[in-house]
Amino acid sequence: MRKLVLILSLLSLLPFNAIAETAEEKGTAIAKEAERRNTGWENSKAKMVMTLISKSGDKSVRQIRVRSLEVENDGDKSLTIFDEPKDVEGTAFLSFSHATVPDEQWLYLPALKRVKRISSSNKSGPFMGSEFAFEDLSSFEVDKYTYKYLRDDKLGEHEVYVVESYPTYEHSGYTRLINYIDKKEYRIMKIEFYDRKNALLKVLENTDYKKFLDQFWRATTMTMDNVQKGKKTVLNWSDYEFKTGVDESDFSRNALKRIR
């Protein structure tokens, strides 16, 4: 009886989370904190250089502009515009991310002069020949996944949480993702993507983070390595601007055809 009383006394000194928090609860809490820290930026503009690298090392470079709009109580909206080279000039991609219903995505193809809707069943396909899938381009929304905390680890100089996430939306190309999130700023440093056969498909590394508005971190280099195909896509971001006056009118299907 004395031993039981001693154990209960010791347990009462521990924080509640140390007793009650499961791996699933901790994983979800980490994801929610990462989302919370990236809320409030309102809208942004940026430039991006996309470099496609083949298995043999050949490179293809594209010049891109990106506009983004934060939407309260829903996923973000984004507009991606291709400026160079000539064969993709004027191509535009519009994405409405959602938390609990399928994302809405459209692609404007200037050669055909028409807007093509990306079907829900096709979002695991490659985006413009890159190693990024259409579903990779959606904004991060906590409710799109369930979570499980795996362990603490170290990635380079960063102490990280390792959290496994499982897509809840239909037609995902992935069975699970393993996320490496730094403990200090809750930035996603690396993601491992596992395909429908549960084999490692791709690895995304986010590096060269910069801080904007004294609060919001953005990776200025994103490298997606397809370990099954031996191909890579590197995104180099620059010229970030925030709270620039971008609004809902800039994110419509009709606006796609007028992009310049």
Cα–Cα distance, 83 to 114 (Å, whole number):
18
Cα–Cα distance, 126 to 119 (Å, whole number):
13
Return the CATH fold of 21-256: outer membrane lipoprotein receptor (LolB), chain A (2.50.20)
Question: Between the CA of residue 197 and those of 173, 193, 200, what are the distances in Å?
Answer: 10, 11, 9
Please indicate whether residue 18 or residue 76 has the higher confidence score (pLDDT).
76
Task: Provide the pLDDT for residue 10.
Answer: 47
Cα–Cα distance, 162 to 183 (Å, whole number):
10
Task: Provide the pLDDT for residue 249.
Answer: 83
Three-point CA angle 227, 225, 197, nearest 5°: 45
| Confidence label for 260 from pLDDT (cuts 50, 70 and 90) | low
Residue-wise pLDDT for 202-239, tens only, equals 999 999 999 999 999 999 999 999 999 999 999 999 99
Q: Which residues share a beta bridge with 212?
A: 216
pTM exceeds 0.85: yes
**Least-confidence region, from 6-20, 178-192, 224-238:** 6-20
* φ, ψ (nearest 5 deg) of residue 133: -85, 160
User: Mean pLDDT across the stretch 126-152?
Assistant: 93
Locate 153 and state its tokens.
Answer: 């680890």
| Confidence label for 45 from pLDDT (cuts 50, 70 and 90) | very high
